[in-house]
Structure 1
Amino acid sequence: MPPEPNQAHIAAPPRQALGRTASDGTTSQAPTSDATRDDAYIAKLNKWWTDEEESSIRRKLDVRIVTVSFLLYLVALLDRSGIGNAKTAGLEKSLRMSDSQFQWLLTIFYIAYILFQFQVVMYKLLPPRIWVTFCVFVWGVAGVCQAATTSWSGMMAARFFLAVSEAGYGTGFALYLSFFYPKTETGLRFGWFISAGAISSAIAGAIAYGLVHAKTSVEPWRLLFLIEGVPTLIMAPAAYFFLPNSIQSAKFLTPREKQIAEARLFRPPPSAALQIKEAHPFSWHSIKQQLNLSQAAAAFTDPMSYITAALFFIINVGYSSVPVYTPTLISEMGFGSIKAQGLSAPPYVLAFILSLFFCWLTDRLQIRGPICTVLLIIGAIGYLMLTTLRSTAARYVGIWLVINGLFPFIPILYMWLMDNQASESKKGLGLVIFATIGQCGPLLGTHLFPASEAPYYVRGTAVSAGLLLFGVLVSAGLSVRFWSVNRRRDRRDATVEQGGENVEAKGDVKYDGKARSYGGELEGSMTEADRRKIDVLLHGEESPYFRYTI
């Protein structure tokens, strides 16, 4: 992946990329109008490749990146959630654990997962496929080691390293996608990634049920950890050989396709820093080239990092507690364990479908906040039904609303944060803040539903409903704020285009009262649309040409 942009190394873009290519091979200059402020319009205006070429590139990237990452996340969640099924299969009795010790097995995972979220930045510092392979191998070994443990302390150690390695992979995938896809295409692909969780839950339940009833010489819970851990070890070499480090190192793309893939992102062309990183990934010089500390530090002062983190915390409080009372609710309906498993699956199937649909929709419309608000309202209604209603059928409907309001929300929230932080370094640290705060939600959520308050859990459902309603206000307020900023910048642009006082000489960009001149070959070949894009690259969200995704 290329290093962060700075004024010193932005090179001139290809001449054919600066306008619309006519049928005779000539390139026309892009007209300046209000529409050039729209990212999609600018991309189309500067497009010098065919739709077929673009589709082919997307397809090649999807086969390598989306497919492999989906499978990796699926096996990751199998390893993570296997502890609950292992308990059912006799883990506690075999290792002579108390209930308190078992609860610590759950807690140590969350503690390690939260503390090691900073590993997101490793996607910037190391070649991604090396980092991902390392994480997959470590959590595969940790997962298999769970099957060999003979004590509670051994299981604690295995769970700790499982969490550390998974933390290094999962959250950073959102950043990894931004290395290859424009923001109009990342939502659906991240939706596929997250949706692996729903498939994993179904697979884990089926495996656990089969092993509990199987006649084997190995204790069922040990066999469970082996069956869930071995596929992870198999996926480690797959990650190394199939995942690309960057567009330029993707051997499955032709030279022209690499140029097109880079042009779709409209970022500076790769420099020698990329070759340094891939040839010497562990050198201090490579690290300094890849991580722009000033841009990364800006994430600490950006309210977006903390607002989205608060929303993620709220979602995790509500979502982590769903499995606590779902079995109780199903049992109240008078069904046995097999039918109960069947009744708990349909809401997740619908959540899987809705996640993909809403991710596709928000990619297409480039509107994420209002969809987040609607999903929060749906989840809040579901929790209010669980708080106030006692009819089993009505409460089952409430479960559907909670699951299908909160599950699709998660990938959209990730993308909303990524869309509104311009530089890769800032996105990386922004994700660290986002995930570290947000992943604390399960620590609260799992304590809101003590067994003594069964079967209605009024306190837990009421608190969850209240938090979601607060989230509605936060997400709606953030959407209005972004809309207001975008509208103000649109008015400013209109003043410039009408010949107002902000108009500068050719090659200059007005920025907080100062003219920006790019100079040289770049200045002479740039259209107005290109100048605006370059200004965003240089100044991020502070650029008057940056538009927030509402």
Structure 2
Amino acid sequence: MKIVLRTEERRLVRRLDGRILPLACLLYLFAYLDRSNLGNARLQGLPQDILNGDPTGVLFDWITSAFYFSYIICQIPATIVSKLVPPHYWLAGAAVGWGLSSTLMSTAFNFGGLFTARVFLGIFEAGFGPGIPLYFSLFYTREEMGLRMAYWFGFAAVSGAFGGLIAFGISMSNVTIAHWRLLLIVEGVPTIILGIISFFSLPNRPEVTHLFNSRERELAIARMNRSASGDVGNVVNKAHIWMAFRDWRIYTGGVIYFGLNCALASISAFLPTIIQTFGNTAAVAQLLTVPPYAVSAVVLTLFSYASDRLQTRGCFMAVASTIGAIGYLLLLTVSSNNHVRYFATFCITSGTYTTIGLIIAWFAHNLGSETKRATGIPMFMAIGQCGSVLGSHIFPETEGPEYTKGFAISCALEFLAAICAIILHFSYRLENKRRNICYGIPDYNVRVDTSEVADKAPDFRYVT
């Protein structure tokens, strides 16, 4: 009987992977292209065309930050409200919205127009970024979540490589429209198309979707309730919202995410510029951004696979974040060897992207209920996105090519993230041990009722 059940479950997971992962990954690919394409647009003449040259780089920094202001403010309310709306409606609407915003950036003729478009880009993406981990947790178990999050978030790294190739191709084209405007159009329009496809293709919640037959629905619901079962469906448990706001671990996760996003924002917006300081032309610098992103996608997948198999996240996060910090340390201490400095960019992208993918998977199953996840995930993400605002202001043109301040701040924050990951790891381990002593070791396949106290339920166990 168990063999038959495992076979049915594997078949169901393959079907879910075939339906959910391709669209979710492609949407995230274009989400990151749309939010980070300013780095390449900068090298294609955007400041000269509409920012009066921007000799200090301050105006460009504020346009980069505009996305994060609205993204931070809207994340928590958007994700809580998303529980009241069918997921495929919500995710498709968000995609069409940010696709339009990104495409309309190409029509801007001054600072105000570009700033406004970036604000709306942040509003719509706020409904997507934290919503996907919540959506995945409806279909995937804790043993499957890390690798699926790696596939999904890995496309943020792929977007860096893909964006560099697109930018290089456009820079070589002979067109009448400004290259940076064409870049924004080419990377914005596909998102709108994908959003429309998602409306018809992404499955709704397991208990109501038409994707499943009766047996598949029964199995999918059992999987969803395996480690926790609480406020299922289009409901919001207000008590769990306040529990999330009182959970110190979420704030510690926010500190980790803050450091990582400071580095991520720096990478997204300034990596082409940093590589250009090695003595490359703008076109070659855009092309050389591809390998670091490609390698980081592979490292993220390998770390996440091992994390799923061992059911531990904190140690892998600490190692990955330390790798990122070492990359910044190399940029700070090695100023004359461009080969070493280029190797450092591989360390930074691999360490940063890997740690972010793992922490999203970590909290997707450690918060106990849908409402606490819908509150807690955007909470630590919102705290973390404040790091993105910082990251977009610590690489001013006037400090190039050394960028000592930016590299030093990012290095320190990556080391801080590693320390916080170790703290969370041992905190979860000690709590699991305490519950095992007090309440006994629970049967993994038995439904855990988390409707009252979410992850504080006696039989709930954390991923460490």
Q: Please confirm whether the aligned pair reaches a TM-score higher than 0.5, indicating the same fold.
A: yes
Contact 1:532 1:545 in 2 (8 A): no
Is 1:178 aligned with 2:137? yes
SS state at 1:408 partner: helix
The alpha-carbon deviation at position 333 of structure 1 amounts to: 4.6
Closer/same/farther in 2, CA of residues 137 and 408 from structure 1, 3 Å limit: same
Is 1:306 aligned with 2:251? yes
Q: Distance in 2 between matches of 1:136 and 1:233?
A: 6
Which residue matches 1:316?
Answer: 261
Code of the residue aligned with 1:74 in structure 2: it is L
Closer/same/farther in 2, CA of residues 117 and 486 from structure 1, 3 Å limit: same
The alpha-carbon deviation at position 349 of structure 1 amounts to: 1.2
Q: Distance in 1 between matches of 2:245 and 2:112?
A: 37
Is 1:59 aligned with 2:4? no
Contact 1:329 1:396 in 2 (8 A): no
SS state at 1:125 partner: coil
Q: Distance in 1 between matches of 2:346 and 2:277?
A: 16
Which residue matches 1:511?
Answer: none
Closer/same/farther in 2, CA of residues 458 and 217 from structure 1, 3 Å limit: closer
2:181 is aligned, of 201, 215, 222, to 222
SS state at 2:368 partner: coil
2:190 is aligned, of 219, 223, 231, to 231
Which entry has the higher C-alpha Rg, 1 or 2? 1
Q: After TM superposition, what 4+ stretches of structure 1 lie above 6 angstroms from structure 2?
A: 268-273
Which residue matches 2:41?
Answer: 86
Contact 2:395 2:406 in 1 (8 A): yes
Percent identical: 34
1:425 is aligned, of 360, 365, 371, to 371
2:402 is aligned, of 452, 456, 467, to 456
Q: Distance in 2 between matches of 1:531 and 1:337?
A: 56
Q: Distance in 2 between matches of 1:474 and 1:348?
A: 25
1:474 is aligned, of 407, 414, 420, to 420
SS state at 2:335 partner: coil
Q: Distance in 2 between matches of 1:542 and 1:323?
A: 38
- Comparing 470-479 with 230-239, which one deviates more in the overlay? 470-479
TM-score (norm 1): 0.77
Q: List gaps (5 residues or longer) in structure 2.
A: none
Closer/same/farther in 2, CA of residues 467 and 139 from structure 1, 3 Å limit: closer
Contact 2:165 2:286 in 1 (8 A): no
Contact 1:182 1:265 in 2 (8 A): yes
2:72 is aligned, of 93, 114, 121, to 114
Contact 1:310 1:438 in 2 (8 A): yes
Number of aligned residues = 459
TM-score (norm 2): 0.90
Closer/same/farther in 2, CA of residues 164 and 462 from structure 1, 3 Å limit: same
Contact 1:49 1:260 in 2 (8 A): no
Q: Distance in 2 between matches of 1:313 and 1:270?
A: 30
Code of the residue aligned with 2:183 in structure 1: it is L
Q: Cα deviation per residue 1:316-371 (whole Å; 9 max; x = unaligned)?
A: 12232236765566446544444434433222111101111111221121100111
Code of the residue aligned with 2:423 in structure 1: it is G
User: Which runs of structure 2 are paired with 1:114-513 in the superposition (5 Å)?
Assistant: 114-118=72-76, 119-266=78-225, 274=233, 277=234, 290-322=235-267, 326-327=271-272, 330-331=275-276, 333-392=278-337, 393-493=339-439
Q: Distance in 2 between matches of 1:367 and 1:431?
A: 18
Is 1:71 aligned with 2:30? no
The alpha-carbon deviation at position 76 of structure 1 amounts to: 1.8
- Comparing 411-420 with 394-403, which one deviates more in the overlay? 394-403
Closer/same/farther in 2, CA of residues 157 and 356 from structure 1, 3 Å limit: same
- Comparing 462-471 with 370-379, which one deviates more in the overlay? 462-471
CA RMSD of aligned residues (A): 2.8
Code of the residue aligned with 1:51 in structure 2: it is R
Contact 1:421 1:541 in 2 (8 A): yes
Closer/same/farther in 2, CA of residues 326 and 95 from structure 1, 3 Å limit: closer
Contact 2:96 2:192 in 1 (8 A): yes
The alpha-carbon deviation at position 410 of structure 1 amounts to: 0.4
Code of the residue aligned with 1:348 in structure 2: it is Y
